[in-house]
Amino acid sequence: MTLPALGWQGLVVLATFGISLLIATYCTYAERVIAAFLQDRVGPDRAGPFGLLQPLADAVKLFTKEEFFPAGANRALFVFGPCLAMVTALMSSAVIPFGNFLQFGDTIIHLQGIEINVGMLYVFGIVSLGVYGIMIGGWASNNKFSLLGAIRAASQNISYEIAMGLALIAVLMMSGTLSLREITLQQSVAGEWHFWNIAKQPLGFIIFIVCAFAETNRTPFDLPECETELIGGYHTEYSSMKMGLYLFAEYINVFVASAVMSVLYFGGFNFPFQYELRDWLVSSRGLELVTAQNIITILGLVGLFAKIFGFIFFFMWVRWTLPRFRYDQLMRLGWTILIPLAIFNIMLTGGLITFGVIK
Amino acid sequence: MSPLFLFLSFVALLSALGVVLAKNPVHSVLFLILTFFTLSGHYLLLNAQFLAAVNIIVYAGAIMVLFLFVIMFLNLNEETEPHKPALAKIAAAIAGGSLLLILVAALRNVSPAGYDAASFDSQIGMVDRLGLVLFKEYALPFELASILLLAAMVGSVMLGKRETGERNF
């Protein structure tokens, strides 16, 4: 790879980073607007037009609040916890293919931060590290309730990681690759009637989305922080922007989980009739193939973000609709229902592949 | 030796020393996690992406979380740390030191052998190559290990299952 191309790729990485932060910022706004919509309220409308500056006002509020350290807290780790939560949340969006490629002359820009052939394992590894931010923060607070909250959160995350991994195996059995870009490209083949993975893996998708809710600590699985019943969980002692970082990391996780689900099950940057549209642009509109391909790539990028926003809306819709699980119900669902279901799904997929029903 | 290799080795040694020397057990665990990260970095330098990712998932992501669980529950602190007798400390130092001496003496003059830069396959650590080797040459041990892991998982689910007549909160 020559240096100019590497420079472009660096820009893509920066853009991914910025977009993750921007989307997470406006998730806080969207959450309030959707909550207001579902509860028939007005919602934020004071700061700026339609309350669009609300996230900014929140940030100013969080930054200017008192920075508080509890007595006997491990100061270094107390600061390190939220930082780690934020870093691990931001790292996972690096491998997500947001679009195919743009071509200008000889320069080809892949709309993906880094392409590695173990992309899915990378996401999985980063997700499994997210637990540390919670555990370290809870422990360093020197508060029994924080520690119990942290342990509760960590057990939940670890338990649901297993079912998530098993649901994923069924997808990998069909795709035969761990690269997210390859998995996306396989879901649409030119000149062929081809379905997205959701049509072949409905059960796997349901398991995966339930686990994604648990991994991102969203309702109905927000036991790690349910402030109404179990105080604040692991971030009881946190104030100011350190608290803000924990909450912010949750929204980034929601974004990444939505992106991963769109890529794995909903065709990623593919959209129906893209090859027909490209050929039509070339034959009827007289565009060059490269230009037509670039237009398709940009439409695919928009399509992927539409899917991601759809999932983010779903996350919020569920939050304001369903009540919270009890902790024993949560653990029972994870271990005695989702894991056996996921193993059954693997066997089913294996059988269907063997008999050539799906490929 | 590339600067990246030197940097990773430096951090690896430093964090490994941190594991042994830290007074606080939680700090020790965190240093151990950092050590695993540097080891994954070494795997990446060797072009073994799969091994690097799995090392992070299994060791840093799962096993170290359990370590952290236990240590946090035991509430080990600098104050409650039991002090070993001096004799045990001296014996441990001598035993560890002689092991280090033997390792250094044995590996001092070793040069990497058995690889030819012309015919070396740089893709050998990729996940598809690894899969082919595992399923072709080591199919039986691989399947046996997977059955063992599955049995452990099913066992844990069985242990967690509610028995009839148990109180339902």
Q: Could you tell me the pLDDT band of residue B143, with boundaries at 50, 70 and 90? A: very high
Q: Find out whether the peptide bond into A97 is cis, omega within 30 degrees of 0.
A: no
Sort out which chain B residues have CB atoms less than 8 A from A132's CB and list them.
33, 65, 68
Report the alpha-carbon distance of residue A327 to residue A229 in Å, rounded.
12
What is the overall mean pLDDT for chain B? 84
Percent of chain A with pLDDT over 90: 21
Over its C-alpha atoms, chain A yields an Rg (Å, rounded) of 22
Cα R_g (chain B), whole angstroms:
22
* Mutation choice for B interface testing from A77, A87, A88, A118 by most B CBs within 10 A: A118
**Residues of A at the B interface (Cβ-Cβ below 8 Å)?**
74, 77, 116-118, 121-122, 124-125, 128-129, 131-132, 135-136, 139, 147, 150-151, 154, 158, 162, 177-178, 326, 328, 331-332, 335-336, 339-340, 343
pLDDT above 80 (res A225): no
Mean pLDDT throughout A51-78? 86
B53 and A129 in contact by Cβ < 8 A? Answer: no
Q: Is B134 on the interface with A (CB under 8 A)?
A: no
pLDDT score of B78: 60
Inter-chain CB proximity B160 and A158 less than 8 Å: no
B71: which 2 tokens? 């240590």
Q: What is the pLDDT of residue A206?
A: 93
Q: Which of B61, B69, B161 sits opposite A336 (nearest CB)?
A: B161
- pLDDT over 90 at B44, yes or no: no
B162 touches chain A (CB under 8 A): yes
C-alpha dist (Å) from residue A162 to A336, B21, B166: 12, 34, 26
Residue in the structure block whose two tokens are 């926003």: A309
Residue type, B139: A
B49 vs A162: CB contact, 8 Å cut-off?
Answer: no
pLDDT, position B76: 65
B138 touches chain A (CB under 8 A): no
Q: Given A74, A118, A331, which is nearest B49 (Cβ)?
A: A118
What average pLDDT does the segment A172-200 reach? 84
> For chain B, what is the total number of helices (H) and then of strands (E)?
7, 0
Q: Do B50 and A118 touch (CB under 8 A)?
A: yes
Cβ within 8 Å, pair B156-A335: yes
Chain B residues with CB under 8 Å of A121 CB are 50, 53-54, 57, 127
Sort out which chain B residues have CB atoms less than 8 A from A343's CB and list them: 150
Q: Provide the pLDDT confidence category of residue A212 given band limits of 50, 70 and 90.
A: very high
Tokens 């229902």 appear where? Answer: A337
Nearest Cα to B66, choosing from A109, B1, A353, B74?
Answer: B74
The alpha carbon of residue A136 is apart from the nearest alpha carbon of chain B, in Å, by 9
Which tokens go with A346? 């693997």
Is A158 in Cβ contact with B54 (below 8 Å)?
Answer: no
Determine contact, residues A335/B156, Cβ cutoff 8 Å: yes
The string of DSSP letters for A39-93 reads TT---S-SSSGGGTTHHHHHHHHHHHS-----TT--HHHHHHHHHHHHHHHHHGG
Instruction: Please report the ipTM that was assigned to this predicted complex.
Output: 0.82
Of residues A48, A126, A44, the one with CA closest to residue A92: A126
Using CB atoms, pick whichever of B49, B127, B160 lies closest to residue A335: B160
Bigger pLDDT: A245 vs B74: A245
Among the ranges given (A122-136, A253-267, B122-136), the one the predictor scored with the smallest mean pLDDT? B122-136
pLDDT at A348: 92
Instruction: Give the model confidence (pLDDT) of B65-109 as tens digits.
Output: 888 888 887 766 666 666 778 898 899 999 999 999 999 998 888
> How is A27-40 classified by DSSP, letter by letter?
HHHHHHHHHHHHTT
| A154 with B69: Cβ contact below 8 A | yes
Q: How many CB atoms lie within 10 A of CB B109?
A: 6
- Whether A213 shows a pLDDT value over 70: the answer reads yes
Instruction: Give the pLDDT band of residue A1 (cuts 50, 70, 90).
Output: very low
In angstroms, the separation between the Cα of residue B56 and the nearest Cα of chain A is: 6
Chain B residues lying within 8 Å of A124, measured CB to CB: 53, 57
User: Does pLDDT of A241 surpass 90?
Assistant: no
Nearest CA-CA distance, residue A128 and chain B, Å: 5
Return mean pLDDT, chain A. Answer: 86
Q: Given this structure, which CATH class describes domain B1-77?
A: mainly alpha
